[in-house]
Structure 1
Amino acid sequence: MSGQQPDRSGAPQVFQPLAEDDPTTIAGYRLAAKLGAGGMGKVYLSYTPGGRPVAIKVIRPEFGEDPEFRRRFAQEVQSAQRVQGLFTAPVIDADTAGPRPWLATAYVPGPSLADAVAAHGALPAETVLLLVAGMAEALHVIHGAGIVHRDLKPSNVLLAADGPRVIDFGIAHAADATSLTGSGVIIGTPSFMAPEQATGSRVTPATDIFALGQVAAYAATGTPAFGEGTSHGVLYRIVQEKPDLTRVPERLMELVTRALAKDPAERPSIAEIIALCQAANAETVLRRPEDWLPGAVAADITVRAAAPAPVQTPPPPAAAPSAPPSPAYSPTAPYSPTAPNHGPSRAPQPHPQYRTPPPAHAQAHAHAPTQFSGQAPPYPGAPVPSSAPRPSAGAGGRGVLIALAAALVFGVAGGGTAYLLLKDKEQPTRGGGSAQGDQKGDGGTQAGATPTPKATKSEPKPVVYKGVNLTAGYHLTLGDDEVRPQAGEDGWYELSYDTGGYLDAESQDGNLVLLDPGQEGSLAACRADTRFTKEVYVNKLSKGRQVCVTTGTGHMGLVTVRGFSTEDSPSTYLTLDLTVWRNAAGASS
């Protein structure tokens, strides 16, 4: 599935309008046009918030319903995100666990090799040498990430102004595992398969070298080296017969012949492929000029560069949050493997236990928030002042009775029970202090006065923090106004990334729940699910998986995994989106 060229039926336009059965958005990306369709699914044009065009590839439902495909697809996407080469289209975002798996790659404004040859015929030998050298560099990077392309063909090679781009690497491996392969569905294109693929033998990087030789022959002659026809006939010729190279230019003959060796061990390496291209070049040094493509093909690049403008009207919001979310990526935040943006290092200290809030009038003048204020302490584990302001006589008998009741309960049953008794007397707000209504409401009724009926509590509003890089050895405190990673992994923290390789809920009465793949995370889902654990190992997580967090301080959160640190990163971290519902634990109305 090339994903960036139209289906050549008649004379189609490059950017096809969306049909009735096409989605208008994919995970926050608004779709501007359809680029094409293939055996694996459909491809759409969209844009990042910064205006860069991207190609969104939505996998066919048949594949998405296969658990083994999803497992392998997640592995291949994670590997593909490590591929960063000059001649590849990088994978910048993906969702492997949603109802319809998809991935986003950089949009390349150029025709596929298949479209260029079909429209304008075979390419000159000089162009083919530059094409093969660029593809060889792409395979070097792809193989270096532990990926075998398995489906290298003309429609998966895009021709850009500055060289070719190899796309869709590794996706065929995921498709090989599906139950569809046992029902007549062929993964890969027969005309560009290697003998070991046709016979079901072991696939190696040398498999891609054979496909590279086939692509070179196709680009130079305009026809596949083993002809066309039924898949069985083509595969038989690939395994048993010699290729037809009569029209291949002499300068390319050694390159193509060696790459098409039946025995994988006899095929040249990537370095040898590039050396053969250099030796066949008249100037001995490969240089890629601006006009490396024939004029007619270069004109197609101009057409594809004039992509439709992004859709300006944003999708309707689901619900207005009580506080603006973090100004990070609006779609599903393609992550960048950079060092985490964490706050100052603080020595880990035990998290304070529940404690009695000061009376209403004292809260109005206090600057340091309490656990009941809806706001975090000045820093995790901050000590509580030993002397709190006492209520004056004018505060009324009700405040005195509450304080006495709290002290009695603390002495008998501990702070947790006191919290349960008192939390209905004071409704926290986003900025600290209690939501008391007017002066004669529930929080300020004078002694002997008739209290007003208690108002129905509303559900807490979600606060969203996107693109948080949580480094191993750091933790998050959900009650903080600005949730940021802070140093420390042990010390009664609400959510920490332990250097042992797991997420940890250490706070008093805190727990985690790992939601199932495809299970939609929400406040209701987190409240209902009781598969509690204290630890979730990161190696059990994949991009898109979600973890519910309940803290001992009464907050709830939903962690959505967005990515992982790369192997060459100086630190180990987890990129995540975090949704926080403060004071939501057990507070459903």
Structure 2
Amino acid sequence: MSGRIPEGTVFQSLGEGDPRHVAGYRLAARLGAGGMGKVYLSYTPGGRPVAIKVIRPDFAQDAEFRRRFAQEVHAAQRVQGLYTAPVIDADPEAAQPWLATAYVPGPSLAAAVNEHGKLPAETVLLLVAGIAEALQVIHGAGIVHRDLKPANVLLAADGPRVIDFGIARAADATSLTSSGVTIGTPSFMAPEQAAGAKVTPATDVFALGLVATYAATGRAAFGEGTSHGVLYRIVHEEPDLTGVPERLVELVTRCLAKEPSERPSVAEVLTICQSANAETVLRRPEEWLPGAVAAEIGTRKAAPAPPVAPPPPAAAPAPSVPQAPAAPPQPFAPPAPVPAPEPTAASAPSTPPPGFGPPPAAYGAGPAAAPTVPGAGYGTPPAPAPVPAPYAHPVSTPAPESGSALTPADPPKRRKRGRTIAIAVVATLVVGGLAGGGTYYALADRDKKNDQGATVTENSDSGAEQPVEPPAGDPAADPGTDPAADSSDSPGEPVPADPVEDPEPATHKGINLVSGYHLTFGDDPLRPVNDESANDLYYDSGLDRLKVPDGRLILLRNGQKPDLATCRSETRYAENLGLDGISKGAMFCVLTDTGHVGIVTYQGKSPESDPSQFVTVDVTTWLNAVEAVQPTS
């Protein structure tokens, strides 16, 4: 972009340490920075603004972070809700990993409260209801946000937008966090996070109560101070709800219960909001925010224009060549035909492409004159090019004598001329082959066609090649070519077999695959068995993995069509799939060593209270749909 962004706007000019491009995105401005990286404004090729988060280099160097970041980005791309900023692009494998989300033209809740103070109770109810709907979609994709805080809630004209869902998990348990780097904001953590216990969707509900308290009072429920002090109060003390409006007390109190099991579900949060205020549905989004906060949205809509690449430097003008004055116009008269000069070995140009006659002459530099040869260019007519040989040889041949069969002939005699040419050229080649012993073998490429359509076939007695005309009406112009093949097919190309109909799919819903048991796709009915003789899909609860010991597994990406054609064409083979990296609804192909194909949809694991350990899957199978495959070893 040209120039710097004016001071006082929400967009910051790019500094010396900021990149100018991320993958194919040109950066227009910097939007801010956080614990995991910097955020920039860019645009899609169609001109839509996007926010691009570039991960910090120290995180990018951690292999465990990269692995988790890739998993979380893949899961986040499946989240498509009205109150979330969707992830539209990402590259976890880049030197500095990055992801792009839709740009939301509005301040964060943290910025709005810091600049304008606490929000009215009606606005807080609408805010909490929108965040709760966002959490429903996020949790439905198998993601726990883990870092729900005011900075990750953006205030748009039509409601809140939750961002950065699930990304904080990528930094958990990396070498950086173990060395003292804190991910997440202590003031908005749940007790189980502070204690290092298991994180569940109830963790986000506790954070939602903290966000609601902050929005309604302008301060954190457990105060400020050192992170250790704040985390201790979160675990052991009660929140300070002074100043919380009466209509919000029940909502906040229930969300901030110490025990996760005592907190309301996201659906119950929505019910509480609707009971507290009948207008919680965002029917008039332009009025849901206070005027001062809504005014900020207008300033953020005026985003800097997308950078325009500088035009390429203009080519240097060609040196001017003095032109002779044009001749005065003359009345048109048909020119008399002039015999074409005969070519000589010294003046003959290089051989043109097969099948073409003499190249057209360039325009002369002198005054315009009537053409001297019909159809030729203006100026002095060029010497006609020799007719090409039937096919190019890797050896040179003597130039033909003047007046030979290569002299241009009139169009009506073209076929006779072609035969004469072929005989003359072949005779020349025979002489050259006899004179140069070793060159014969370079010429003995049998069954070729010349540009007149004659087939050249090797003579087994003498080693010379003779032109042979194909019989009239014979479709087999080349030996080895299927006579039934279309004339457009290349010589020797096999005729494709008739298409084979795909096998009918069979769908099996709600299969509980117990640890140690197997599925064999050819079984009818398809059910888990404790038999390793035909092991197409296996669940190992000890490693928390689904395995395909005797075939191949392919995890489908977001947007890939789950069908037989995709499974046949995709080649990202694996042998097993860790369940900690996928969410409910994830799909993968299984190609068995017996030629069966299955698409497996992961529907979740057994609850911790169940004495049995199993995964629930839906399976669609196509029997004998591919060639038998071998394990990836």
Sort the TM-score into its range (normalised by shorter chain): 0.5 to 0.7
Query: Structure 1 length normalisation: TM-score?
Result: 0.56
Task: Confirm or deny that 1:267 pairs with 2:263.
Answer: yes
User: Residue type of the partner of 1:164?
Assistant: P
Task: Confirm or deny that 1:148 pairs with 2:178.
Answer: no
Structure 1 residues 363 and 137: CA distance shift in structure 2, 3 A:
farther
Q: Which residue of 2 aligns with 1:39?
A: 35
Q: Which residue of 2 aligns with 1:60?
A: 56
How do residues 27-426 of structure 1 correspond to structure 2 at under 5 angstroms?
27-283=23-279, 287-313=283-309, 392-393=422-423, 394=425, 397=429, 401=440, 405-406=444-445
Residue 402 of structure 1 and its aligned partner are, at CA, apart by: 6.6
Check the 8 A contact 1:74/1:542 in 2, yes or no. no
Q: Which deviates the most, 38-47 or 397-406?
A: 397-406
Highest CA radius of gyration, 1 or 2?
A: 2
Structure 1 residues 69 and 363: CA distance shift in structure 2, 3 A:
farther
Residue 401 of structure 1 and its aligned partner are, at CA, apart by: 4.8
Check the 8 A contact 2:554/2:588 in 1, yes or no. no
How do residues 529-548 of structure 1 correspond to structure 2 at under 5 angstroms?
538-539=554-555
How many Å separate the matches in 2 of 1:228 and 1:196?
19
Q: Percent identity?
A: 71
Residue 287 of structure 1 and its aligned partner are, at CA, apart by: 3.5
Gaps of 5+ in 1: 1-10, 318-358, 366-388, 409-446, 448-486, 491-499, 501-534, 544-557, 573-589
Structure 1 residues 406 and 37: CA distance shift in structure 2, 3 A:
same
Check the 8 A contact 1:31/1:311 in 2, yes or no. yes
SS in 2 for 1:257: helix
How many Å separate the matches in 2 of 1:299 and 1:155?
19
How do residues 438-477 of structure 1 correspond to structure 2 at under 5 angstroms?
none
Check the 8 A contact 1:152/1:192 in 2, yes or no. yes
How many Å separate the matches in 1 of 2:310 and 2:288?
40
How many Å separate the matches in 1 of 2:98 and 2:34?
14
SS in 1 for 2:287: coil
How many Å separate the matches in 2 of 1:96 and 1:31?
19
Structure 1 residues 489 and 51: CA distance shift in structure 2, 3 A:
farther
Check the 8 A contact 1:192/1:211 in 2, yes or no. yes
Structure 1 residues 392 and 292: CA distance shift in structure 2, 3 A:
same
Query: Structure 2 length normalisation: TM-score?
Result: 0.52
Residue 203 of structure 1 and its aligned partner are, at CA, apart by: 0.2
How many Å separate the matches in 2 of 1:44 and 1:112?
15
SS in 2 for 1:392: helix
Structure 1 residues 150 and 569: CA distance shift in structure 2, 3 A:
closer
User: Residue type of the partner of 1:230?
Assistant: T
User: Residue type of the partner of 1:217?
Assistant: T
Residue 404 of structure 1 and its aligned partner are, at CA, apart by: 5.1
Cα deviation, 1:18-44, whole Å, max 9, x if unaligned, reads 001111011011000000111101110
How many Å separate the matches in 1 of 2:15 and 2:59?
22
Structure 1 residues 12 and 38: CA distance shift in structure 2, 3 A:
farther
Residue 194 of structure 1 and its aligned partner are, at CA, apart by: 0.2
Cα deviation, 1:334-361, whole Å, max 9, x if unaligned, reads xxxxxxxxxxxxxxxxxxxxxxxxx997
Structure 1 residues 570 and 189: CA distance shift in structure 2, 3 A:
closer
Residue 177 of structure 1 and its aligned partner are, at CA, apart by: 3.1
Residue 183 of structure 1 and its aligned partner are, at CA, apart by: 1.1
Structure 1 residues 125 and 488: CA distance shift in structure 2, 3 A:
farther
Check the 8 A contact 2:76/2:87 in 1, yes or no. yes
How many Å separate the matches in 2 of 1:91 and 1:489?
39
User: Residue type of the partner of 1:161?
Assistant: A
Check the 8 A contact 1:32/1:45 in 2, yes or no. yes
How many Å separate the matches in 2 of 1:46 and 1:114?
23
User: Residue type of the partner of 1:298?
Assistant: A
How many Å separate the matches in 2 of 1:284 and 1:102?
36
How many Å separate the matches in 1 of 2:301 and 2:99?
21
Structure 1 runs, 4 residues or longer, greater than 6 Å off:
359-365, 487-490, 540-543, 568-572
Structure 1 residues 202 and 284: CA distance shift in structure 2, 3 A:
closer
Q: Which residue of 2 aligns with 1:585?
A: none
Check the 8 A contact 2:206/2:263 in 1, yes or no. yes
Gaps of 5+ in 2: 1-6, 314-350, 358-417, 434-438, 448-463, 465-498, 503-520, 522-550, 560-570, 573-581, 590-598, 600-633
SS in 1 for 2:224: coil
Check the 8 A contact 2:210/2:220 in 1, yes or no. yes
Structure 1 residues 131 and 285: CA distance shift in structure 2, 3 A:
closer
How many Å separate the matches in 1 of 2:273 and 2:558?
40
Structure 1 residues 405 and 305: CA distance shift in structure 2, 3 A:
same
The two structures, once aligned, show a CA RMSD in angstroms of: 3.9
Q: Which residue of 2 aligns with 1:322?
A: none
Check the 8 A contact 2:37/2:53 in 1, yes or no. yes
